[in-house]
Chain A
């Protein structure tokens, strides 16, 4: 699939030489416009933060793959190559906003500030969700596809009912876009004008099945026309464009002007998960084409050219990445399994007599195990 890359045209921006954002809009009649460029306000400090989060994400992702190969995680779904789409989108949120990620958005969740070890609890098998959603305003990473999009819509509807000016952002993928829940979420958000931003990371594949087998249309953003909301198609490997597009949508939602569907076109450079084998369904050449558009390296070039970052800053971020990776290793290797009795504690607000009886049975088994 061809992607229009944001232009480096001159114009007002946060520092001389910062490329403008660019994206395509879905017109009311349901066709994509040519890419238009837009000014994006990002301070030097914000640009450095964006780079830091993307570079750390890359390191965290690689470490998670390594830890899976070494047995500390049972499985992992990599975000390698999708850092711009995730970090750029999350960067547009305010502290009071909510994020509804899936298992693919580990780095977006990391960029939101959730502790990486807590995020990886899902994959390490210590608990299904390792963090407190209320602490970070981040819902648990969801595995049944597109289901979380409805949770985002419901939360956004509730916020509107309570007159709270907050926004819910949810990710889903090109495969999940085929699920009924994706349509129900888009349609309901449209009907109720819910302050939601839908970011579809179109990474080309649903495990092995390519985009062309998910939909006959050229862009998932086109669905926006069918549910009466603005649609945007953006280069998901260009963090400035992703940020610009999502910020526009977040501002619109916060103003009370309703939801937006954004398709961020990107590529899953790694396999679906560590249990997957890409050689069975795609060529190395195809991946190589996308490696040239590596979102982290591309952004770093822009920042270096603009004098926003220097070698010292890059080295500083790299050192932070190594420290984070080391902490991941230390925390996830040999992490205690936890107390199996806890499986009875959170089924209901209070344990039922049935659960008490079953807990007692397990208790007996555990004691017998200790004696032997």
Chain B
């Protein structure tokens, strides 16, 4: 059946809750309303208010109580309503959620998922278009996942809920309405594995979340307009990252470009570029390039398109990459 990414996420939550009584879903407006993006639509009606419920507006409270629930054997899946409102919970996430297994010498693992709609491109007001993935990826103990397709959204969310460590699940909100023909339950490679979305020979585009679609568009246009055969790798799990797949691809093509919406400086792409230059140096014909957002606070809606990487910006960078 044809499903949007939002629909696939909703189906993943429903199927997980049906299969496992210990899965509970909560956050701001996720109950009666079904979430501001309707990702939790219908869950409270089917599962009851013990399994899916609204909370006070308290993001640290949501993350902190989820830890307590996981400690007691539940599998909480909580929602931060928007990326920009996930920051009040950072103390709980960094100081406790990420550290609990290590602090307790492996005795207490926390099976919990924090879902965060993230990224721009929907014409939102300030604080609704942030890309916080580097903060989470920099924090040891967190597993950071971001799907780029509806099928992966389903498969990775199910895998995250079944995972025995805390997962930061970053949902590319501008792709919520992206459609794909799916047979549920979708199976896909597990958390921790990247996927080659498009095989190619000229250069590797490395993307995740909202930029997977943009990178695929760029690769299609590159083939059509310039005859460049680009490979696209979808990172899927940002941390711990599947570096082997990235290195294999960059080694094969000899040229690599990392794409993300988030600002460039100390961004996720910097880490990937550094790793590739360390592990694939002898095979690279050109330095690893980055196509990213600018090092500015996320701009207002009417000018955000000039901030966001698009296929044109990617193709310009590919041209520079191929000139080496």
Contact = CB atoms under 8 A, between A and B. Distances in A.
Contact of A348 (B55, B88, B91, B165): B165
A158 interface: yes
| Size bin of chain A's contact surface | 35 or more
Interface of A: 127-129, 132-134, 139-140, 142, 144, 147, 149-159, 161-162, 168, 180-181, 184-185, 187-188, 191, 342-343, 345-349, 352-355
Contact of B64 (A151, A168, A187, A355): A151
B105 interface: yes
B109 A134 contact: no
A129 B103 contact: yes
Residue of A149, A154, A181 most packed against chain B (CB within 10 A): A154
Interface stretch (B69-77, B149-157, B217-225, B286-294): B69-77
Nearest to A184: B61
A158 B110 CA distance: 14
Contact of B108 (A133, A150, A154): A133
B103 A349 contact: no
Nearest to B58: A184
Residue of B63, B68, B71 most packed against chain A (CB within 10 A): B68
B108 A134 contact: yes
B96 A157 contact: no
Contacts of B74: 158, 161-162
Nearest to A164: B72
A99 to B, nearest CB: 12
18 contacts: A128-B99, A133-B107, A140-B103, A147-B60, A154-B66, A154-B68, A158-B24, A161-B51, A161-B74, A162-B72, A181-B64, A184-B60, A185-B61, A187-B61, A342-B105, A347-B102, A348-B101, A352-B192
A33 B244 CA distance: 67
Residue of A156, A184, A342, A354 most packed against chain B (CB within 10 A): A184
B65 A134 contact: no
Given A128-B102, A180-B88, A347-B101, 12 more contacts: A150-B92, A153-B65, A153-B68, A155-B68, A158-B24, A181-B60, A181-B91, A184-B64, A346-B102, A348-B141, A348-B143, A352-B240
A154 B60 contact: no
Contacts of B88: 180
Contacts of B95: 144, 147
A156 B107 contact: no
A188 B55 CA distance: 8
Contacts of A139: 71
Nearest to B107: A132
Nearest to B143: A348
Residue of B67, B105, B109 most packed against chain A (CB within 10 A): B105
B73 A349 contact: no
A161 B24 CA distance: 9
Contacts of A142: 96
B323 interface: no
Contacts of A134: 107-108
Nearest to B73: A158
B164 interface: yes
A191 B101 contact: no
Nearest to B192: A352
A151 B107 CA distance: 17
B285 interface: no
A9 to B, nearest CB: 40
Nearest to B50: A161
Interface string B172-214: 0000000000000000000010000000000000000000000
B142 to A, nearest CB: 9
* 8 closest cross-chain pairs (CB), A and B: A154-B68, A150-B64, A154-B65, A184-B61, A155-B68, A158-B72, A352-B240, A346-B106
Contact of B71 (A129, A133, A346, A347): A133
A343 B99 CA distance: 12
Contact of B243 (A180, A347, A353): A353
Contacts of B66: 154
A51 B103 CA distance: 32
A154 B64 contact: yes
B108 A155 contact: no
B109 A349 contact: yes
Nearest to A145: B91
B282 interface: no
B19 interface: no
B165 A147 contact: no
Interface string B28-72: 000000000000000000000011000110101101111111111
